[in-house]
Structure 1
Amino acid sequence: MASGGLADRAADTPAIAVWAKACQTLKRELGEATFGSWLGHAALRERSEREVCLVAATGVARDWIRRHAWRRIGELWAENDPQGRALDLKSKMEFEALAPAETAPPPAANAPPAPVLTVLENLAPSAAAAPARPARPSGLQERFAFDNFVPGPANEFAFAVAKRVGAWADGHFNPVVFHGPYGFGKTHLLNALGWEAMRTAPEKKVVYLTAEKFTQTFVKAVQDRQTAAFKDELRDADLLLIDDVHFVAGKASTQEELFHTLISLVQDGRRVVMTADRPPHELSDLEPRLRSHLQAGLVCGIEPADRDLRMGILERKLAVLARQGGFTPAARPEVLQFLADRFTDSVRELEGALNTLVARVGAEVAHLTLDEAQAILRPHLAAPERRVTVDQIQKVVAEHYGLKQADLLSERRARAVARPRQTAMWIAKQITTRSLPDIGRRFGGRDHTTVLHAVRRIESLKAEDPNLARDLDVLLRKLRG
């Protein structure tokens, strides 16, 4: 199959027709600019009758797709492909390195033994059969290590604690909770200490789960009557890592199970580390006993990165991209300073801006002028309101309607809560760059269809309800400053 864009060749094969249909939705949800930067140059390849591969133009583009869009792509592919074919993701270089008949590369001869990264995928009675490759890899992420974490005043205490935990040092507080704004290194530290713990003591059992995965697997275990196996698997861990524990807020049975798992491990001298977007005492929707035990350990805050730290992060990230792309890690100082001063809300957004520049110009990034960099990033800059976070929107909307922020994340369906929640979702879609699935995850783990319904509902109501239109105007003015 010839290489090139996808939309122009939608009729070539049924697989490409499926992808073209998915692209229409992705363009609408991500926006034309974001879609064009990261997915517009991707190509679909059929490796066999049952396996199709989405080939990203570069490794940088592949990583962005996997982090920000892969889950949604998997959903759209499953919805639109009647043949149920497996969809893989590779960079162009990776794909071209594979022999046509090859289905999976063999493990490298010098690769370390597979660590115990239990994700509890095989609790169902049919687990003896080989499981299908997941659309998104589970477990620890290899790209997160202590070596590529940039410490600074905002995170140095959390960094030091993570290194002690990873080294199995004595005097360990239990549990440890890392908390801080979205995109400032909590997941990086959690993954890094997991890898370090396995390297230091390979005989010990390390279990890593996102809170979302914990919830999904627990529910499945209950449905399949496999709760005993679920409990044994977790409570046999020497080190349990739970990412984004705030996700379980409002989920009573999941919190109950997590509480008993925590108590069991701590009493047995096992170690537990979790991350959250807020300190435990602010997680008002957590069951009080669970919240109390999280507060009883060591709570480490990670503050927003200062300018020097942001510059250090950019330099480290540029070195990584240059090594991957085979070019000299150089950029004009004014370009890096512009990125550090403009993208202050999240390290992920900061790195994403640099990714965009490198993906567009490659080795020529060293010669990129400030004007050229600003032109490339213009769709990501836009007006100041684009920098408002979903968290800020939730706080402002909750205050306006006399609610708590936790109410907007809860399962409550009373109109007094549901309408403000829909309003906050509508605003998030209007003035942030977050996709519908991403917005849904920040409203208590809801799916994209719920957000889409909210956006359409508010759009319809504001034309006929002057009070709602007035509320929206007031809220938008508050958020835009």
Structure 2
Amino acid sequence: MADRISAEDQKRWERVRERLRAELGDAVYNSWFTRLELDAVAPGALHLSVPTKFLKSWVQSHYASRIKARAATEFDKVERVVIDVRSSARKPKQRDALAGRDETIQTRAAADNKPQPLAFVTGADTGDAPAPRRAARSVRADADAVIGSPLDRRLSFSTFLVGPSNQLAYAAACRVAEARPGDTPLFNPLYTHASVGLGKTHLLQALAHATNDNRRRAVYLTAERFMSGFVSSLTTQTSIAFKERLRDIDMLIIDDVQFLQGKSIQQEFCHTINALIDAGRQVVVAADRPPSELETLDERVLSRFKGGLCVDIGPLDEALRVKILNARIAASQDTHAGFHVPEEVISYVARTILTNGRDLEGAVNRLLAHVTLNGAPLTVETAETAIRDLVRTQEPKRVKIDDIQKLVASHYNISRADILSSRRTANVVRPRQIAMYLSKTLTLRSLPEIGRRFGGRDHTTVLHAVRKIEELVAKDKSLAEVIDLLRRILNEQ
């Protein structure tokens, strides 16, 4: 295995990462791929690494085939992808060089592959904890299993732009942050949901900052961080300390809870939020959908979510999009004083980019590149060229469950009636599971609705089918290719 990675190989790997981000979305990518690094390129193999055993197991079981497929487009003859856990033997300079722009304090803290402490005071920016606190963390490293996810000081209430779509969520978060030590929580739990790029993570981190500034202890965790901490605590036999530390805080904030997986982990999460709420401590949760659509979560957890205040952050209206663009342009002008965007260009971009704040930020970056690289003034015509890759020219293909059933039946030489029947023979069961899996991944239908469309089956049957096919796809290359073919046909019909 090669000891060094060439600059060209690193560029290829960055392109692979960008493709994964584009395919999976920012939420999934940020949860599982930001700490995945390229270690070496060997004949026929790509060697990658992650900081924890939990992350290695998750990525291998859920995304190995996808990583291999994307890597094959950039690297010659990639027959396998090897994922290892980074050890303390890696030199800091080498680790920093490979991590690039995605490196976080989580990576540095986990690089020695030891259980990490839970940071009660998470208001400090990434990497700037005072020396005494760092020393205390080192002393307690063998008693804990997780460190609070790092906070970005830029994500504060003062930088959160408010409009009709997020006014209620913003007001609720501010009210929760204003509570004084000893106050009974007004909204508990506070549950907010929004699609990608609409500001829920910004709001949660702003709430964590404000709470810590208000002399209360808040811990902000992604679902992945909570899961890895719990698993590490079981491995190191410090689960009691892990639970007690979580339950000895004033506010627990969990982001992207839709990624919370595993029966034992969900049970522990349920016990934790029950203990916090019963003790008068605040719980704040965010997801990409309302509680009623989180079919994979335990019913007891969902019941707790539904019992609090549930607020959503809706699509950005045009006025708010203009405010976001102006804020991003002003930030860019701090480093590029000559960057100027005419009002008519701002209006054009706000009318054209209708998706989310990240696409608006991407539009500003493209406009900045046009000005700095071409040296030409911005006009509506040049802006149209600069942002055309961000413009959604047509609605995404809407796939119907009936079409899925017909195509799968035809491919496996059975009838649609067979798929809907109660037959349990092998030549029918597998196509039925594949059809259920495609129905879940290609449509917006809920599990109960899919079950009804497959002969009145229970939603648990659909969930079992989805998980079964996910497991098989990760192991069986030929099945993965068949499903990919069926998916392409359905999207192109």
Aligned length: 365
Instruction: Select 1:27's aligned residue among 4, 12, 15.
Output: 15
State the 1:452 CA deviation: 8.9
Equivalent residues of 2:339, 2:371 under 8 A apart? no
Q: Does 1:344 align with 2:354?
A: yes
Q: How does 1:142-221 map to 2 (within 5 A)?
A: 142-168=153-179, 172-201=186-215, 204-221=216-233
Instruction: Report % sequence identity.
Output: 31
The amino acid that maps onto 1:223 is T
1:357 positional shift: 2.5
- Out of 329, 342, 345, the position equivalent to 1:332 is 342
Query: Which position in structure 1 is the counterpart of 2:95?
Result: 86
Q: Which amino acid aligns with 1:340?
A: A
Deviations 1:15-52 (A, max 9, x none): 451x42243244355359x9xxxxxxxxxxxxxxxxxx
Question: TM-score, normalising length from structure 1?
Answer: 0.63
TM-superposed deviation, 1:354: 1.4
Q: Structure 2: how far apart are the matches of 1:168 and 1:205?
A: 12
5 Å-filtered alignment, 1:17-416, equals 17=6, 19-28=7-16, 30=18, 71-72=33-34, 74-77=36-39, 79=47, 84=90, 85-88=94-97, 125=142, 138-168=149-179, 172-201=186-215, 204-248=216-260, 250-323=261-334, 325-327=335-337, 330-362=340-372, 367-381=377-391, 383-384=393-394, 388=396, 396=399, 401=404, 416=432
Q: Secondary structure at the match of 2:220?
A: strand
Worse overlay, 233-242 or 74-83: 74-83
**SS at the partner of 2:161?**
coil
Check conservation: 2:342, 2:378, Cα contact below 8 A.
Answer: yes
Q: Is the 8 A contact 1:328 1:363 kept in 2?
A: no
- Structure 2 unaligned spans of 5+: 41-46, 50-85, 102-123, 406-428, 444-465
User: Residues 398-477 of structure 1 correspond to what in structure 2 (within 5 A)?
Assistant: 401=404, 416-418=432-434, 421=437, 459=481, 468=486, 472-477=488-493
The amino acid of 1:276's aligned partner reads: A
Take 1:115 and 1:160, find their aligned partners in 2: how far apart are those partners?
36
Amino acid at match of 1:252: K
Aligned-pair distance for 1:264?
0.4
Q: Is the 8 A contact 1:327 1:363 kept in 2?
A: no
Distance 1:189 1:338 in 2: 27
Partners of 2:132 and 2:344 lie apart in 1 by 43
- Alignment CA distance shift 1:23-1:188 (3 Å): same
**Matches of 1:331 and 1:450 in 2, distance apart?**
51
Q: Secondary structure at 1:225's aligned position in 2?
A: coil
Going from structure 1 to structure 2, the CA distance change for 1:153 and 1:72 (only over 3 Å counts) comes to closer
Going from structure 1 to structure 2, the CA distance change for 1:178 and 1:72 (only over 3 Å counts) comes to closer
Give the residue type in structure 2 aligned to 1:306: D
What secondary structure sits across from 1:305 in the alignment? coil
Do the aligned partners of residues 456 and 30 (structure 1) sit closer, same or farther apart at CA in structure 2, a change above 3 Å counting?
farther
Q: Tell me how far apart the structure 2 counterparts of residues 414 and 25 of structure 1 sit (CA, whole Å).
A: 35
**Structure 1 contact 218–230 (Cα < 8 Å) conserved:** yes
CA gap 1:15/1:69 in 2 versus in 1, 3 angstroms: farther
Q: Distance in 1 between matches of 2:442 and 2:292?
A: 29
Distance 1:116 1:246 in 2: 32
Q: CA deviation at 1:473?
A: 3.8
Instruction: Check whether the contact 2:353–2:390 (CA below 8 A) recurs between aligned residues.
Output: no
- SS of 1:292 mapped into structure 2: helix
Distance 1:399 1:334, change over 3 A: farther
Q: Distance in 1 between matches of 2:228 and 2:152?
A: 20
Question: In 2 relative to 1, CA 297–423 (structure 1 residues): closer, same or farther, beyond 3 Å?
Answer: closer
Q: Which position in structure 1 is the counterpart of 2:451?
A: none
Q: What is the rounded CA distance, in whole Å, between the counterparts of 1:380 and 1:335 in structure 2?
A: 15
Shift, 1:180, TM fit: 1.6
Q: Distance in 1 between matches of 2:301 and 2:173?
A: 22
Task: Quote how far apart the aligned CAs of 1:300 are.
Answer: 0.9
Letter in 2 for 1:311: V
1:384 is paired with a residue of what secondary structure?
Answer: coil
| Closer/same/farther in 2, CA of residues 14 and 219 from structure 1, 3 Å limit | closer
Q: Give the distance between the partners of 1:419 and 1:331, measured in 2 at CA.
A: 49
SS in 2 for 1:337: helix
Post-superposition offset of 1:303 = 0.7
CA distance in 2: counterparts of 1:273 and 1:220, whole angstroms: 23
Separation of aligned partners in 1, 2:31 and 2:340: 29
Report the 3-state secondary structure (helix = DSSP H, G, I; strand = E; otherwise coil) of the residue aligned with 2:38.
helix
In 1, Cα distance between equivalents of 2:274 and 2:351: 44
In structure 1, distance between residues paired with 2:132 and 2:356: 31
TM-score in terms of structure 2 length = 0.61
Structure 2 CA distance for aligned equivalents of residues 69 and 251 of structure 1: 16
CA distance in 2, matches of 1:425, 1:77: 32
Contact 2:5–2:39 (CA<8 Å) still a contact in 1?
A: no
- Superposed CA deviations along residues 384-424 of structure 1, whole A, max 9, x for unmatched, are 36xx4xxx97xx4768658xxxxxxxxxx966445664798
Counterpart of 1:299 in 2: which secondary structure?
Answer: strand
